[in-house]
A and B are shown apart, each in its own frame.
Chain A
Amino acid sequence: MKKLIALGLLSLLLLVSGCPDTTSHSQGVYMLLDSSGTYKKEIKRAQAIINYLLGTLQPGDSFAVARIDSASFSEKDIIAKMTFDRRPSMTNQQKRLFKQKVDEFVAKVKGSAYTDITGGVLQAVEYLNETGAGRKHILIFSDLKEDLVKGQVRDFPIPVSECKVVALNVTKLRTDNIDPREYYKRVDQWKERVEAGGGHWRVINDLERLESILAD
Chain B
Amino acid sequence: MSLPEILIIWPGSPVLSLIIEFVIAILLLYLARGPAHKAIYSLSAIIHSGLRLMARSVLLGEKRLVERNREVILATGARAAERLIEREFYRVDAVVKRDMSGYPALQHKLGDQIAHIDEDYRESTEVPVPSPDWVKAVDTLAKLPSKGDSWIANILGEIHKTAQAQYKNTMEEYRKAVSVRHSLLEKMMPYWRRLSQTLDQVDKTIIGLHERSKVIDNRMAEYEEIRNQSDKAVRMLTSSAMTQFFIAALVLLIAIGGAVINFNLIALPMSEMVGGGSYIGNFKTSNIAALVIILVEVAMGLYLMESLRITHLFPVIGHMDDKMRTRMIWVTFSILLILAGVESALAFMRDRIAADMQALRHALATVETAQPVSSWIPTVGQMVMGFILPFALTFVAIPLESFVQSSRTVFGSAVAGLLRLIGFGLRLLGNMVRYIGEFLVNIYDLLIFPPLWLENLIRNKEQHTEVSDIIVKEEV
A residues with CB within 8 A of B: 16, 21, 23, 25-26, 47-48, 51-52, 54-55, 58-61, 84, 86-89, 91-92, 95-96, 99
Contacts and interface: CB of A to CB of B under 8 A. Distances in A.
Interface residues of B, number: 20
B271 A88 contact: yes
Nearest to A53: B364
6 contacts: A54-B364, A58-B276, A60-B277, A60-B278, A61-B277, A86-B275
Contacts of B268: 88
Contacts of A52: 364
Nearest to B364: A51
B360 interface: yes
Contacts of A61: 277
B280 interface: yes
Nearest to B268: A88
Nearest to A54: B364
Contacts of B276: 58-60, 86-88, 91
Contacts of B352: 89
A47 B277 CA distance: 26
Nearest to B354: A88
A155 B356 CA distance: 47
Contacts of A54: 360, 364
Contact of A26 (B272, B277, B357): B277
B271 A95 contact: no
A48 B353 contact: no
Contact of A99 (B277, B279, B356, B364): B364
B361 interface: yes
Contacts of A47: 366
Nearest to A48: B366
A99 B363 contact: yes
Given A16-B280, A21-B279, A61-B277, A88 B363 contact: no
A55 B268 CA distance: 16
A50 to B, nearest CB: 9
Nearest to B274: A86
B360 A55 contact: yes
A165 B275 CA distance: 29
B369 to A, nearest CB: 13
B386 to A, nearest CB: 18
A95 B271 CA distance: 17
Given A88-B272, A96-B363, A99-B364, A21 B281 contact: yes
Nearest to B360: A92
B365 interface: yes
A2 B356 CA distance: 49
Contacts of B275: 59-60, 86-87
Interface string B345-371: 000000011001100110111100000
Contacts of B279: 21, 23, 25
A20 to B, nearest CB: 8
Contacts of A91: 276
Given A55-B361, A59-B271, A95-B360, A21 B366 contact: no
Contacts, number: 61
B280 A55 contact: no
A134 B272 CA distance: 22
Contacts of B361: 55
Contacts of B364: 51-52, 54-55, 95, 99
Contacts of A23: 279
Contacts of A26: 277
Contacts of B353: 88-89
Contact of B360 (A16, A58, A96): A96
A95 B364 CA distance: 9
Contacts of B272: 87-89
A16 B361 CA distance: 36
B280 A51 contact: no
B292 to A, nearest CB: 11
A58 to B, nearest CB: 6
Contacts of A92: 356-357, 360
A52 B363 CA distance: 11
Contacts of A99: 363-364
Contact of B271 (A16, A55, A87, A96): A87
- Counting chain B CB atoms within 10 Å of each CB, the highest count among A55, A88, A95 belongs to A88
A213 to B, nearest CB: 15
B284 to A, nearest CB: 8
B351 to A, nearest CB: 12
Interface in B161-218: none
Contacts of B281: 21
A59 B277 contact: yes
B23 to A, nearest CB: 69
B362 to A, nearest CB: 10
A55 to B, nearest CB: 5
Contacts of A55: 360-361, 364
Contacts of B366: 47-48, 51
Contacts of A16: 280
Contacts of A96: 360, 363
Contacts of A51: 364-366
B460 to A, nearest CB: 80
A133 to B, nearest CB: 10
- Counting chain B CB atoms within 10 Å of each CB, the highest count among A25, A26, A58, A86 belongs to A86
A99 B362 CA distance: 12
A26 to B, nearest CB: 6
A86 B357 contact: no
A51 B272 CA distance: 23
A96 to B, nearest CB: 7
Interface in B264-297: 268, 271-272, 275-281
